[in-house]
Amino acid sequence: MEKTPPDRSESRLRIVVLTRRGRCVSARAAIDALLEAGHPVEAVVAEPWLNLVFSRGVARGLLTQFRRHGWKALWRKVREQFGRGSAQEPLAAFCRTRGIVYHEVEDHNSEGCGRLLRNLRPDLLITANTRIISAGILRIPAEGGLNIHKSLLPRYAGLESIFWTLYRGEKEVGVTIHRLAEGLDTGDIMGQTPIPVDPGDDLESLDRKADLEAAKLLAKVVTSIRDGNPAPRPQDLSHRTYFSWPTPSRRAELEDRLRARQAPPSSRGLIIVNADDFGLTPSVNQAVIECCEKGVVTSATLLANGPAFDEAAALAKTHPELGVGLHFNLTLGRPLCPPSQVPSLVDSQGSFLPRRRLEFKALCGRIDSRHVAIELEAQYRKLTQAGLKPTHLDGHQHAHVLPGVFRPVAEFCRKEGIAVRRPSPAPLINRPGSPGRRPKTLRTLRGLLLRLLLAWQWPRHGRGLASNDFFTSIFDILPLPQKIAPSDYAELLSPGRIHGVGEIMVHPARNAQELNGLTRIGDVSEGEYQALLATDLRRIAELAGCGLGHYGSLD
């Protein structure tokens, strides 16, 4: 049958939408976006919702609801999904209020639907939440058809693409408008929009985002077809991944994972024992791994420009139980980038500025955040190129919270989907009259500055980032004990001090002499190494109602 040429007399397309009865949020959002863009919809042709209920995949989803939550939850899901008792108006009423003709057919691929479409003479078919459309139906519209798919094709073709994106831990989903073809999700790509997965997202929130983005994208694609300048792009099917309906067990697994991820911090009860300066020297590396093997260190942050980086990376790969993050460094050694690319971070010799100079420069607003972003990317990529998957980020000497530094750090962590340390000082433990090292005035002022910087910058740039709820270290004990003991860690993690997800920062090293010229706390590091090996931190955490873990446990 010869196609009817499109009517261009009024510079418009005759559009017909194929969908199903029920909520069909994708179709409703698409229709409203088309109308707003000046594209009238001639008709909506819907299948009865029972056709979909009795399909194998939806039956599996409903069975999951029944097994896990009983009849009431099952009935609520049916009403939400298919419009019985839904707060949304019926699809027929939705169309009527917009002046759109509404039809129901037994099956979109039936002969009756074919006759209806030939009478409607559409230039363009748009499908949303339908089954595969037959070749006979696809030959009717003059301009063919478009489908809304909630993934970045050719990846995640098939069914329940947002479910599989979350299940497989992807950092972004997306929407694709593609030409309808005889294969499933194989037609030319007409437009795509990526959607980042935020830490608090679940299936429903991502579905809502996808519906809104798909509607806006569809309107742009239809406009390009009307104006005669579409830009189709064939799919590279060598990169295609296809997924079918998830089993009830996989649905249940994802539901449990999302519930755990979204639980309030106070309900998680997690203590992270993080060793800083991993990769600084062989002595530090050996101490970190020995403490990890004993079960008292669960996390470590690695210096990408550390002299012993290669050894640390190799050790980390043989100890998968150790969560490894990036110890972002702006104050020790030389940058990984050429100094000419990061001039606001280096001195005339191309080395990083000492801590005090960096802090002064940051407080004066003279740190270029673009330079921070460049060096951060280089340090992070060194870890990934070594075969490591960073769990989080912190800063050497807490430089990551300085003005000009924290914003690019927060943006990077959000993009990569990793946690970031919030070094908000815990209440101090005062022991008047005890022997030990008392903090200098400058250190006290620096602690106050840290509190002020976090109070100022975290609400502006840190919201939504995975992080710790409290932070402590041996330096919270005043005066600092001459000989660190297991009882000191018990006091740091006493029930009155901890809440939610906490990090205890440690600096173990086997040999203080090896740290000369690199840090001023070499003797503290050696003492902490010996104390950690003598301490049952797991037992201490259990007495406080917590378990030990690392930042990867927050995913």
pLDDT at 85: 38
Alpha-carbon gap, residue 216 to 34, rounded angstroms: 8
What's the confidence (pLDDT) of residue 332? 96
Closest CA to 165 of 201, 193, 140: 201
pLDDT at res. 284: 98
| pLDDT at 478 (0 to 100) | 85
Q: Are residues 331 and 254 in the same domain?
A: no
Q: What angle, 0 to 180 degrees and rounded to 10, lies between the N-to-C axes of helices 282-294 and 309-317? A: 20
At 355-379, the pLDDT tens digits run 999 999 999 999 999 999 999 999 9
253 and 279 share one domain: no
Q: Residue 190 sits in which domain range?
A: 15-260
User: For residue 155, what are its two tokens?
Assistant: 């990846």
For the stretch 459-465, contacts whose Cβ atoms lie closer than 8 Å and that sit 24 or more positions apart, written own/partner, are 460/407, 461/406, 461/407, 461/410, 461/411, 462/406, 462/410, 462/420, 462/422, 464/198, 464/199, 464/200, 464/414, 465/199, 465/410, 465/413, 465/414, 465/419, 465/420
Answer whether 193's CB lies under 8 Å from 174's CB.
Answer: yes
In a 10 Å sphere around its CB, with 0-12 CB exposed, 13-18 middle and 19+ buried, how is residue 509 labelled?
Answer: buried
In a domain, 8, yes or no: no
Looking at 260, 277, 306, the residue that finishes a domain is: 260
- Please indicate, yes or no, whether residues 279 and 255 belong to a single structural domain of this protein: no
On whether residue 7 sits in a domain, the answer given is: no
Dihedral angle at the C-alpha atoms of 138, 140, 141, 147, nearest 10 degrees? -20
Based on the domain organization, do 531 and 432 belong to the same domain?
yes
* Number of Cβ atoms within 10 Å of the Cβ of 207: 17
Determine, yes or no, domain membership for 6: no
Burial 122-133 (b: 16+ CB within 10 A, else e): bbbbbbbbbbeb
Q: Which amino acid is at 198?
A: D
Beta bridge partners of 300: 275, 324
Q: Does residue 4 fall inside a structural domain?
A: no
* Low pLDDT (below 70) residues in the chain: 1-11, 22-23, 49-89, 248-249, 252-253, 256-257, 259-268, 432-444, 496, 555
Q: Total structural domains in the chain?
A: 2
Alpha helices by DSSP H, listed for 189-281, are: 203-226, 248-262
Return the CATH number at 479. 3.20.20.370
Pairing of strands 41-47, 145-149: unpaired
Question: Is the CB of residue 188 less than 8 Å from the CB of residue 234?
Answer: yes
Asked if 325 and 197 sit in the same domain, the reply is no
The angle subtended at Cα 318 by Cα 313 and Cα 322, nearest 5°, is 75
Do 39 and 99 lie in one domain? The reply is yes
Are residues 231 and 285 both part of a single domain?
A: no
Residues 309 and 104: their CA atoms lie apart, in Å, by 66
Are 295 and 389 members of one domain? yes
* Distance (Å) of CA 238 to CA 152, 155, 242, 284, 481: 14, 10, 12, 46, 62
CATH code: domain of residue 202: 3.40.50.170
Nearest to 47 by CA among 118, 106, 114, 119: 106
At residue 69, the pLDDT reads: 47
pLDDT attached to residue 204: 86
